[in-house]
A and B are shown apart, each in its own frame.
Chain A
Amino acid sequence: MALLYPSEEWLIELKDSLNANPDYEKAAANWEGALILHIQADENLDKDYFLWADPYHGKVRDAKLLNSLDDEKAEFVLSGKYSTWKTVVKGDLDAMKAIMKSKIKVKGNMAFLLKQTKASNVLMKVQQSIDTLFIDEQ
């Protein structure tokens, strides 16, 4: 059954899929620092969503939906419109390309993120493998 995006169920499925993926464990072996994916409302989404995850040395220790940016600490906050995140989740737009095009704004250590392309590439593939129902396509 398809999981709604964005939602906590979808996020948990992503976490579990990443934790079961040896490529991710290897690619993200150096990752430390929680991140928030801030999905901003636009014409296809009526409110903001905050997806929080805590990747650590190749595993995602925890993941949940927040009510606001202040609910949990995060070393990285990536913010973009829902329509941008949708294209990223679908695999139509690379996350790094989205950052370079200013479609996703980054708060946090950009120098660290630039070195995590392998982890990002695995994440993209895993996202695309999740059976997803986008909220505006219900």
Chain B
Amino acid sequence: MSTQEAVVVSALKVEEKGINRENVQNILAELHDALGEDWATNDDAVLTSYGRDFTIAVGKKPNIVALPGSTRDVQTIMKLAKKYGMPVVPFSTGFNHAGLTLPRIGGILLDLKRMDKILKIDEESLTITIQPHVRNAVIYTAVKKHSASEGLPLRAAIPLTMGSASTLANYVARGGSGIMAKVGNTPEFIVNMTWVLPDGEIVKFGPSAVPEVEDIPVQWGPGPDLSGMFINADGMFGVCTEMTIKILPEWPIEKLYLFDAEDDDRSLESACDFIKNICQEDLIDFIYKSSYCQMATGLGIGDPVDLSESMPEDPVMVILSGWDEEEVEIRTEITEDIAEKTGMYAVDIAAFDYGEDLMFEPKYQKRIGPKIGSVMKHKGAFQFTACYVKIDKIPGMVKDYYKLREKYWRDSDPDVTPRMSMSGTAIQGPLPFCRVSTLEYDLWWDQGDPEEVKRASQLIRKANELNLKHGAMLWRNMYGYGEIHFPLLGKYFELLKKTKQVLDPDNIMHPDINPVTDDYV
């Protein structure tokens, strides 16, 4: 399709999607009747704030912002949207690294912030039931008040991201928990879900779909399990208004360690060897290979560029836990033994003691999330893309990524070292007992600098292509993921398109987010 044709198609789509002045006014009037005048608006100042975010994703202002207070409210909005052919985009807390809460065409932005309740914590089934705007920090605080048994507090598998981000949205988007190496990935903890479909029908998944069946902590319901279809669907199939997730016990004693490589020239290889060996031993609760730039920003003590040269290139954070000090001591000895064999050593964290240092608090890393403010504040925008891959491939991939960094990102000024260009890698996981993990490329960029916007956009796209070239699986929808991945999937892609056609024949749910309709641009 030529550029001119695309412009025409796009204009037609907007009109076909029912985005016209009359429809907007009618929908707004009906929403005011149904929800109350306080909970729907087309005020331009409000719309503007939903049309952009901290990512490199391109979005548009919505035409209406609506704030439902319940599943029934969401149903009302969806039925209205279908009646007028108006697109709908769900928004839990709006913190999505792929810009997935930005409308691509316009329509109704469904801000779920009023749905912020923890509905139930069940100590018998070890589950918690939440609404979309319940945030990671809130879950952490609530769950720790409960116990599996005497002296064994409970915790949730909190996503490794901001404490202010939505837990439900992260689980739906197939995010990763901080304790991935121990317990696997977050969708594996989903028990029940309630979804409102594009036609306004409400559907329940999981054991509680059966009337009178209370929370049974298994990941499927009666009959063939359809719930998987809704995970990582990027808002294409409906809106999730309620979710039950498993929670789990937490050992009472924990300690955090930071490891660095003896040989700086082999820091990534040493870190990868260390991670591979550690995770076969079921020793640790949390492991995360960070980067010099993440540490420089996370320390929060000054300009990260100034700090970047003194940080370890590939530091590995580890949290060990156990019933008592003796158990933690035993785990520590084994871990340090593995460190020595793989060319790593334990950093003296006390050397970094300059007062309040959240970064080296176990609960900060495991539960609330390490990216509260400090990681974002370097330039106001933190961007990453990631994949799943065998650990053996990582050093080669990172070598290739640094070539991309050199070409697309680093300044030609000889006084600006590669480190000062502030883009590094992270390893989250790996998955329990195996030698497969995520690999993440991170960068910090200034949205107000047009050159950095260009470079960041190019670099992220090229990084995704690099991942595929090395046989990695792109983790989630990050910047063209659907365009790159889906055409490779053959029958799966056909079924995906048919599913979209069945569930959302009018294509009102977050249109143009993935290439699953013929009019995708």
Contact = CB atoms under 8 A, between A and B. Distances in A.
A97 B345 CA distance: 11
Nearest to A94: B264
Contacts of B306: 115
B301 A100 contact: no
Contact of A111 (B302, B309, B347): B302
Interface string B273-310: 00000000000000000000000000101110011011
A99 B310 CA distance: 11
Q: How extensive is the interface on chain A, given as a class?
A: 10 to 19
A101 B348 contact: yes
Given A114-B310, A117-B309, A117-B310, A102 B351 contact: yes
Interface in A80-138: 96-97, 99-102, 105-106, 109-111, 114-118, 120-121
Most chain A CB atoms below 10 A, which of B302, B312, B345, B354: B354
B269 interface: no
Nearest to A96: B310
Contacts of A99: 348, 351
B53 interface: no
Contact of B354 (A97, A100, A105, A110): A110
Contact of B309 (A100, A101, A106, A121): A121
B307 A115 contact: yes
Main secondary structure of the interface of A (DSSP, over half): helix
Contacts of B312: 100
Contacts of A117: 307, 309-310
Interface string B256-276: 000010001000000000000
- Size bracket of the B interface: 10 to 19
B348 A111 contact: no
Contact of A110 (B264, B303, B353): B353
Given A100-B347, A101-B345, A101-B347, A110 B310 contact: no
Contacts of A118: 309
A111 B351 contact: no
B369 to A, nearest CB: 23
Given A96-B310, A118-B309, A121-B309, A111 B345 contact: no
Contact of B351 (A109, A110, A116, A121): A110
Interface in B237-270: 260, 264
Interface string B141-174: 0000000000000000000000000000000000
Contacts of B354: 109-111
A106 B351 contact: yes
Contacts of A116: 310
Interface string B349-366: 001111000000000000
B307 A114 contact: yes
B92 to A, nearest CB: 36
Contacts of A96: 310
Interface in B305-331: 306-307, 309-310, 312
Contacts of A121: 309
B302 A100 contact: no
A101 B258 CA distance: 11
Most buried by B among A102, A111, A115: A115
A120 to B, nearest CB: 8
Contact of B348 (A100, A114, A120): A100
Contact of A102 (B301, B310, B348, B353): B348
Given A100-B347, A100-B348, A111 B310 contact: no
A110 B348 contact: no
A110 B301 CA distance: 10
A121 B264 CA distance: 15
Shortest 5 CB-CB contacts between residues of A and residues of B: A117-B310, A102-B348, A117-B309, A111-B301, A115-B306
12 contacts: A97-B264, A100-B260, A100-B312, A100-B351, A105-B351, A109-B354, A110-B353, A111-B299, A114-B302, A114-B310, A115-B306, A118-B309
